[in-house]
């Protein structure tokens, strides 16, 4: 949620990308271009 509040847009989700022990977690990819408008509301 920090990335979204900082103006980064969700680009996609990598299902099961991260593994801690025997448990796999999804990874959200965020991106922001230098010329994107940022709203810090």
pLDDT tens digits, one per residue of 1-41: 788 888 888 999 999 999 999 999 999 999 988 887 776 66
List the structure tokens of 4. Answer: 């979204």
Q: What is the pLDDT of residue 1?
A: 78
CA-wise closest residue to 5 among 35, 40, 34, 37: 40
Output DSSP code: residue 3: H
Beta bridge partners of 9: 31
Output DSSP code: residue 25: E
pTM for the complete prediction? 0.64
How far apart are alpha carbons 40 and 30 in whole angstroms? Answer: 16
């Amino acid at each position: 949620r920090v990335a979204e509040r900082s103006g980064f847009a969700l680009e996609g989700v990598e299902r099961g990308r991260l593994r801690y022990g025997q448990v796999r977690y999804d990874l959200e990819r965020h991106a922001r271009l230098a010329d994107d408008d940022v709203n810090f509301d």
